[in-house]
Amino acid sequence: MDILHRRAFLKSATVTGVVALAAPALTGRAAALTKSITVASLFGDDKPETKIWFKIRDLVEAKLPGQFNFNIVKSGALGGEKEVAEGIRLGSVQASLATVSALSGWVPEVQILDLPFLFRDGAHVRNVVQGDTGKELKAKLLAQNFVVADYINYGARHLLTKEPVTKPEQLKGKRIRVIQSPLHTKLWSAFGTTPIGIPITETYNALSTGVADAMDLTKSAYAGFKLYEVVPYLTETGHIWASGVVYFSTGFWSGLDDEQKTVLQAAASEGAAHFNELIVADEASSIALAAEHGGHVVQPEERAKWEEGARGVWTDFASIVGGTDKIEAIRKIV
């Protein structure tokens, strides 16, 4: 090999070596720039609560390839809603869904969305959360380290019992599992029950062992937790529309640049709309599944009595949620 060819070869080898040495460093830097998102879901792959995060993940990846790694932890492995909310506040969990009921301990005002028999249907709920009330509640939640990207609707809550219950007086003396929320406790106390706050992940066992006799829940979650095995009767009261949020931890959110925030916000809103559509279909399939396993849907009698018993909650919580005038204004929204 002559001198010129030897110099060319050495130069080429040197460049190749530098590139080879640099490659791991570049790969490591790219990996360091990828943000990890631990997402908590109470359910498995087949339920809307998890499917929404698959949707959000795919939307974000399409816009910002390689910038985020979604670690979706399913089936309540990170705890119930309260435990996950604490994780969001502390930053150990970066994203999840929550019913507003689960966040009422930090922001009592969100209970306006839980007032029994206030909302006519899902469209009524959506019009309220997209308006001034929704904006006000987002700001209050942000002050408690919850970044709310959008609202979701889990569907209406219904009464679940071990034997048919059609009239409110049939509930007297029963122990009823409730969300750990003052409003839910007040509601069921009005019907002569003994409310017991139990995390949703422990509810099946509480019902099967007799710690609780009844509870209320959405149709989708009724089947999701196989509760038809222990409370086979669903009384279609539709007393509360279970509003929820798609939310992130402030520590995680504040570490994003403007483009990332915009993309995540848009993906979360599209995911929320997708979730609401999935819930409608999931409710129908959930009731069909419950029926296959001995579940029954019954209609309440004397609905006026149900509403009368619940109306005291409006009075007791008016000062907490913004006043009687605010409640009446929401009731009239079309």
Q: What is the DSSP string of 270-334?
A: HHHHHHHHHHHHHHHHHHHHHHHTT-EEEPPS-HHHHHHHHHHHHHHHHHHHT-HHHHHHHHH--
Residue 70's pLDDT band (boundaries 50, 70, 90)?
very high
In the chain, pLDDT over 90 holds for what percent of residues? 87
**Closest CA relative to residue 215, chosen from 201, 189, 229, 195:** 195
Question: How many CA atoms lie less than 13 Å away from 310 in the CB half-sphere?
Answer: 17
Residue 33's pLDDT band (boundaries 50, 70, 90)?
confident
Q: What is the predicted pLDDT for the residue at 179?
A: 87
On the question of pLDDT at 42 being above 50, the answer is yes
On the question of pLDDT at 19 being above 50, the answer is no
Token couple for 62: 């399409």
Domain ranges of the chain: 35-332
**Rounded average pLDDT over 75-92:** 95
**Residues 257-286: tens digit of each pLDDT:** 999 999 999 999 999 999 999 999 999 999
Q: Cβ contacts of residue 323 below 8 Å, gap of 6+?
A: none
User: How many other C-beta atoms can be found within 10 angstroms of the C-beta atom of residue 253?
Assistant: 20
Residue 180's pLDDT band (boundaries 50, 70, 90)?
confident
**Rounded average pLDDT over 202-221:** 96
Question: Do residues 199 and 229 make contact, with C-beta atoms less than 8 angstroms apart?
Answer: no
**Residues 285-327: tens digit of each pLDDT:** 999 999 999 999 999 999 999 999 898 999 999 999 999 999 9
User: How many other C-beta atoms can be found within 10 angstroms of the C-beta atom of residue 114?
Assistant: 26
- For the chain, what is the total number of helices (H) and then of strands (E)? 12, 9
**Rounded average pLDDT over 156-174:** 97
Q: What is the predicted pLDDT for the residue at 8?
A: 43
Spatial distance between the Cα atoms of 216 and 271, rounded to a whole number of angstroms = 26
**Rounded average pLDDT over 50-66:** 98
* Distance spanning both ends of the chain, measured CA to CA: 88
On the question of pLDDT at 142 being above 70, the answer is yes
Q: What is the predicted pLDDT for the residue at 30?
A: 43
On the question of pLDDT at 150 being above 60, the answer is yes
Q: What is the predicted pLDDT for the residue at 75?
A: 94
**Rounded average pLDDT over 155-184:** 95
Chain mean pLDDT for the chain: 91
User: What's the CA dihedral at 308, 310, 315, 316 to 10 degrees?
Assistant: 150
On the question of pLDDT at 10 being above 60, the answer is no
The amino acid sitting at 161 is T
Spatial distance between the Cα atoms of 252 and 328, rounded to a whole number of angstroms = 38
Which top CATH class is 35-332?
alpha beta
Q: What is the predicted pLDDT for the residue at 16?
A: 43
Q: Lowest-pLDDT range, 2-11, 60-69, 116-125, 248-257?
A: 2-11
- pTM here? 0.84
Question: Do residues 160 and 216 make contact, with C-beta atoms less than 8 angstroms apart?
Answer: yes
Q: What is the predicted pLDDT for the residue at 201?
A: 87
Give per-residue burial for 273-289: e unless 16+ CB within 10 Å, then b.
ebbbebbeebbeebbeb
On the question of pLDDT at 1 being above 70, the answer is no
